[in-house]
Structure formats: structure tokens, C-alpha cells
């Protein structure tokens, strides 16, 4: 009887679609043989950026078929980190997934976004080029921190969620306390270019006991102007970090 009931339930599931694998991005039925569970359309739309970008800041140029190359800004004034690693451009559908994840308690997207962040690290290690050497193996992975007030309001730190997956893939310890946010600053997205430059000044502090003499991998969800990442990287270096690399899920 149990065997017959099991067969009946499987048959019902196939006919109704209840037991079908659903794409974690759009919810339509998806092939069961994809590790990420994405449907063909979302797999194409969420594919990683493979070329045509600056490995120093992530700025994108020309065709994706172009080799990565340092942009003029990074040649003239290198950022306070070595490699800049990202998954893809901050466009829909990735943009929508990140916004839902951060602001609408869309934790159902967590596994997919964590996987994308971890895969971005793996690609950077395994697919180096002349201008995009493999990143240094980190001694620690540091998420960009939230202020306590914002953490209480949101309930979780999206950067910590991503960083934990990257740390596991990189084989490095996750250090959530490596950076602390001292001030609850205004969201960068609401400010003008000049305001963004001063809004974050002195907003972060790194723990010298945790980061001194170590290579740090700094992880965030989105890079727009890079102001937050610059302040965090500078804080890590001022606290004695040996070097900093950066990984974000999306580059605006």
C-alpha cells in the first residue's frame, strides 16, 4: 500500500506540476539537471560578466568578448585594493533579486545569490588573464557591516550572508567583527556625488587584532560609486591589513 500511495503521489505531482523544480528567480518550471535550478531564460539573464571590464574597479566597457583591462582611472590612481571581483552588472533581473533580498525579506533568494557570489570568487581564481591575475588567497573574509540600528530594522546583514558563502568557497575564515560601522550614515543612493564623498568619512573602524598582517577579502552586495568599499578598505589597511581584495555580487 505505501508503494502504491507513493506512485500515486508522484503521478499527481507530475500532472499538476506541484512537485516540479521551480526556478528560484522567476518561479517557472525549470530543468532538474541544473545545479542552480534556474530556467533557461533566467540562466541567460543572470549569467556572469566574462570580459569587457576593469579588474581594478569593475567598470564595464565595450563588448563582453573583450579581455579584462585596467581602466584609465585605475591606472592613474589605483584603488586601495588589489583585485575587484563581481558577478554581473546591476541590472534586472539581478537587481530585482538583490532588492527583494535586502528590503523585502526575500530570503528565498539567499541560496541563489550566495551561490553567485561564491562562483564569482571561483571564476576569478580559475580564469586569470594578463590584466586580471588571480586574487590572493585571503586570510580572512570581511563583510561590509551594517550599523546596529539598520541591522535591527532589516533583521540580517545581506553582505554577511554573501560573505559566508564566499569564505566557504575560498577556504578562509569569516570574520564578521573585522569591520565595525561607527555611524548610521544616510544611504549612499539618496545622496549627490559630492555628498557621497563625505557621508562615509570615519564611518568604519577595523579591528587591528583581527586584521593586522593579514590579507582580507572585503565582500558587499552592490558597488555603485565604490565609496563604501574605499572607506572599508582604507580602514582595514590603516588597522594593519597586509592587502585587500574586493568581491561584490553586482557592479552598477
Which is higher by pLDDT, 158 or 103? 158
**What's the whole-model pTM score?**
0.88
* pLDDT for 221: 97
Q: What is the mean pLDDT of residues 90-105?
A: 92
pLDDT, averaged across the chain: 89
Backbone angles phi, psi at 98, to 5 degrees: -65, -45
Q: Does the bond joining 93 to the residue before it have cis omega, within 30 degrees of 0?
A: yes
9 pLDDT higher than 50: no
Q: Hey, where are the domains in the chain?
A: 49-251
Q: Is 42 exposed, middle or buried (0-12, 13-18, 19+ CB in 10 A)?
A: buried
80 pLDDT higher than 90: yes
* pLDDT for 141: 98
Backbone angles phi, psi at 171, to 5 degrees: 70, 35
Q: Does the bond joining 106 to the residue before it have cis omega, within 30 degrees of 0?
A: no
* pLDDT for 188: 66
Q: What is the mean pLDDT of residues 166-189?
A: 90
Report the sign of the C-alpha dihedral through residues 164, 59, 106, 47, in that order.
negative
CATH number, domain 49-251, options 3.40.50, 1.10.3470, 3.90.1570, 2.40.160: 3.40.50
Which is higher by pLDDT, 88 or 24? 88
* pLDDT for 2: 54
202 pLDDT higher than 70: yes
* pLDDT for 17: 52
* pLDDT for 81: 97
Q: Tell me the pLDDT band of 83, cut-offs 50, 70 and 90.
A: very high
Provide CB contacts within 8 A for 75, sequence distance 6+: none
Q: What is the mean pLDDT of residues 230-246?
A: 98
Amino acid at each position: 500500500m505505501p508503494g502504491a500511495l507513493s506512485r500515486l503521489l508522484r503521478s499527481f505531482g507530475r500532472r499538476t506540476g506541484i512537485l516540479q523544480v521551480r526556478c528560484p528567480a522567476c518561479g517557472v518550471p525549470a530543468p532538474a539537471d541544473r545545479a542552480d535550478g534556474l530556467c533557461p531564460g533566467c540562466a541567460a539573464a543572470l549569467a556572469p560578466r566574462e570580459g569587457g571590464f576593469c579588474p581594478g574597479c569593475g567598470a564595464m566597457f565595450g563588448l563582453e568578448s573583450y579581455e579584462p583591462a585596467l581602466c584609465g582611472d585605475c591606472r592613474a590612481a589605483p584603488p586601495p585594493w588589489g583585485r575587484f571581483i563581481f558577478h554581473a552588472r546591476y541590472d534586472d533581473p539581478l537587481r530585482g533579486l538583490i532588492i527583494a533580498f535586502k528590503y523585502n525579506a526575500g530570503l528565498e533568494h539567499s541560496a541563489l545569490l550566495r551561490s553567485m557570489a561564491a562562483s564569482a570568487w571561483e571564476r576569478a581564481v580559475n580564469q586569470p588573464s594578463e590584466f586580471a591575475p588571480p586574487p590572493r588567497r585571503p586570510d580572512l573574509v570581511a563583510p561590509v557591516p551594517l550599523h546596529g540600528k539598520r541591522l535591527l530594522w532589516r533583521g540580517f546583514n545581506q553582505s554577511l550572508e554573501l560573505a559566508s558563502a564566499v569564505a566557504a568557497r575560498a577556504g578562509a575564515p569569516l570574520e564578521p567583527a573585522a569591520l565595525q560601522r561607527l555611524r548610521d550614515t544616510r544611504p549612499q543612493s539618496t545622496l549627490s556625488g559630492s555628498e557621497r564623498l563625505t557621508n562615509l568619512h570615519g564611518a568604519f573602524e577595523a579591528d587591528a587584532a583581527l586584521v593586522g598582517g593579514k590579507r582580507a577579502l572585503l565582500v558587499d552586495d552592490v558597488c555603485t560609486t565604490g565609496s563604501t568599499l574605499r572607506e572599508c578598505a582604507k580602514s582595514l589597511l590603516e588597522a594593519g591589513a597586509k592587502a585587500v581584495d574586493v568581491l561584490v555580487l553586482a557592479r552598477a
